[in-house]
Amino acid sequence: SELQVVFDLPEGTSLEETDRTLKRAGDLIADVPELASVQAYAGTAAPFNFNGLVRHYFLRSSPNQGDLQVNLTPKADRKRQSHQIALDIRHRLDDGLKLPAGSAMKVIEVPPGPPVLSTLLLEVYGRDAAERRAATAKVREAFGKVPFVVDVDDTIHDPGERIRFRLNEASLEWYGVTEQAVYDTMRAVLSGVPVGYSHRGAGVQPIEIVVRLPKSDLAVTERLLSTPVPGAKGNVELGDLVRVEREKASPSIFRRDGRPAEMVTAELAGAYEAPIYGMLAVSDELKKLDWGPNGEPPVSLHGQPEDEAHPSFLWDGEWEVTWVTFRDMGGAFGVALVGIYLLVVAQFGSFRVPLVVLTPVPLTLVGIVFGHWLFGAPFTATSMIGFIALAGIIVRNSILLVDFIRHAAKPGMTLREVVLEAGAIRIKPIILTAIAAMIGAAFILADPIFQGLAISLLFGLASSTALTVLVIPAIYVAVRGPDSIPARHAEEDE
């Protein structure tokens, strides 16, 4: 029941201006019905959760950075889900808040799964910094052309200006002032001077006492430059010993697993919210851009590119989590199916009958796909877990049905007659088993994390159960022949 609005204003923005921006943003969303409270943090990080830990919010300590911690009313007391509220807040801020050029604003939701740096994340690799930055600018342009891709940002920020104090060697020699005296004076003025420790209360760690100037007096003014510096001929003003120069600051350097890279990040909001749709849309826009004689840089879906002689891209973010999750679960599912097949082969002594038993497994997809479409829910990792769980439930029903067919044979009965009798007897317990499992799954249908699991179990069971009692007997008859004599004990080895 919380959201976070993150602001990155241009470098050089004062703490006071950041605070004013946060207050204006808070006023714009103050009348959201589900709002319980709003906390503003200017120049420091808001209390961060696991999501904030992954996104490195604990490093947000610059004056131009601010956070709004939005606390919502309990879920039982509101009609809208947090995602709908986040869309409303983003719409209000986009329409009513005017930010200076070079600013970035992001509405951050608590993710339903493992947190990532950003939902959409494209890493840009290249030969040198200039090449990477040029490619990053084009990638950001492509991101901005997709209507449902929002909160676009990158790691290339205007570094702003920095102030450099250069020592005047001639003045130092003339006044008899050492370099160390200048350094000590500037450190005392700008950083403060520790004068002792306070041992109070039951705290184990003492509190350091530092005497420093207020932040309002730390600007480079005549007052600062008139600070006395001790020398051989008496005190000398700091301004007589140094030259103050303003210059462009160095840009930040980002690395990914030890390799220099720039990153373009974005969130999804609107018609499509699964990362694959955003990736496809951005890829289409990338193809429309002019990439010069070398053509469009190659795009990788997994693993850093080996050749950095030319620009290359790598999709990361939520896609990487999705890829790894479904790859691992898909492999485990394949191993489970092989294990089930071998067990059924050992039970029935046939290589074809286990294939009949496993037929309902893909039939569950009919209901699973329909259920997700009906609820407008994405196919998530929990949906995949439900699909895997259904394999065991449905195969159990198939084994019982086939085994009943094999042992229900009576002298003079054809296989068709045995199948009809077995189906009539077994259909009731099969349906009751499915209904019991569906009732249990219905209680987690409203949960935002396990909704996919509930949909897979509910609709997968419904479709596969209905099709199992029809498809399994039909396939078994097709494999054995309608007029054949049913085996009582085992199928012949194929």
Complete DSSP assignment for 39-62: EEEESSPPPP-HHHHHTTGGG--S
Contacts for 105 with CB less than 8 Å, ≥ 6 apart: 5, 6, 7, 8, 93, 97, 99, 151
Q: Give the span between the Cα atoms of 187 and 382, in whole angstroms.
A: 56
pLDDT at 41: 92
- Which residue in 75, 236, 67, 71 sits closest to 167, CA to CA? 236
Phi, psi of 372 (to 5 degrees): -65, -35
> How does the average pLDDT of the chain come out, rounded?
84
CB-count burial class (<10 Å; 0-12, 13-18, 19+) for 198 = exposed
**What does pTM read for this prediction?**
0.73
The full set of domains in the chain, from first to last, is 2-157+254-317 (3.30.70.1430), 161-248 (3.30.2090.10), 349-480 (1.20.1640.10)
Q: Give the span between the Cα atoms of 354 and 31, in whole angstroms.
A: 61
Tell whether the model's pLDDT for residue 494 goes beyond 50: no
Q: Give the span between the Cα atoms of 394 and 373, in whole angstroms.
A: 22
Q: What pLDDT digit, counting tens, does each position of 302-347 carry?
A: 888 887 788 899 998 888 888 888 888 888 888 888 988 898 888 8
Name the percent of the chain lying above pLDDT 70.
Answer: 96
Q: What pLDDT digit, counting tens, does each position of 242-290 carry?
A: 888 888 888 888 888 888 899 999 988 877 878 888 899 999 999 988 8
- Which residue in 239, 246, 243, 244 sits closest to 224, CA to CA? 239
Q: What pLDDT digit, counting tens, does each position of 449-490 carry?
A: 788 889 998 998 888 888 777 888 888 778 776 555 555 544
